[in-house]
Structure 1
Amino acid sequence: MKRLLIAVVLSVVWPAGAAPDRLHALATELRCPVCQNQTLADSNADLARDLKAEIARQIEQGRSDEQIRAFMVQRYGEFVLYEPPVRADTTVLWAGPFALLALGAGALGWRLLRLRQRPQTHTTPTPERQT
């Protein structure tokens, strides 16, 4: 009897407690279409609030996280994903920062090498003549 009571309480309380966590997790994975540089969780824009409410409704309807993400992508495009998927057409987004870092390191190395190879010319000061 005690186990049945615990099971009933958990079945009622667990989904209700998990919904805000799921909502927050999904809101941190999705970009605000208005703010563009903030997640839905961080944004205070009216559209962000509406989208968070839509996510909450879909969670209550029993939709999975993947279904909710697919709904948002269908409606707003892949731009809404804060981390776009790794594919051939998104390679520049993923590899670009590393390529720029490598270019910068290469340019710095080249410059340092050129400085070391430059002949060092030191002029010694001539002593002043005393008259």
Structure 2
Amino acid sequence: MKRILLVLLLAVAPVSSAQAVQPDEVLADPGLEARARAISRDLRCPVCQGESIDDSNAPISRDLRLVVRERIMAGDTDAEVLAFVVDRYGEFVLFNPRAEGANLILWLAGPGVFLLGAAGALVYIRRRGQPVATESATETALTADEQARLRDLIGK
């Protein structure tokens, strides 16, 4: 009995995590609905922050989904719809911020830190493989007085 219940729960689990888009939001034209879904997946919920507006049940996400569909029905391109939403909510709502302006620092920070780390590792490995620098022979040679004193200390 427990196994049957487990199988049923596992079969229903993917259905329970379905997208938050309500049936009354879906556009009649499948092509336009596909565009709306693609745009919605690229927009972050301002409340949930880790979910797209397509996956979020927050009221603001529903409003944003409706705005996206209204703009599509008005004839806007995907870029115009995104620009419309970004103008009102800022670039924070984009899952993939544009690589321009201040965002360019964020886009370049990861590769920059990686290159610095790789350069540091390379320098470390090269230095580790080299023998330790020794002092020249003239600096390490004992004078005659030092040799005599050393012999006295050793007892020879």
* TM-score bracket for the superposition, by shorter chain length: 0.5 to 0.7
Following superposition, the deviation at residue 16 of structure 1 comes to 0.5
Aligned to 2:54: 41
- AA of the residue aligned to 1:57: E
TM-score, normalisation: structure 1 = 0.66
Which of these residues, 116, 138, 143, is aligned with residue 103 of structure 1?
A: 116
Following superposition, the deviation at residue 18 of structure 1 comes to 0.8
TM-score, normalisation: structure 2 = 0.57
Q: What does 1:1-131 correspond to in 2, within 5 Å? A: 16-119=29-132
Following superposition, the deviation at residue 118 of structure 1 comes to 4.9
CA RMSD of aligned residues (A): 2.2
Q: Secondary structure of 1:97's match?
A: helix
| Unaligned runs of at least 5 residues, structure 1 | 1-14, 120-131
Aligned to 2:135: none
Aligned length: 105
Max Rg structure = 2
The percentage of counterpart residues that share the same residue type is 35
| Unaligned runs of at least 5 residues, structure 2 | 1-27, 133-156
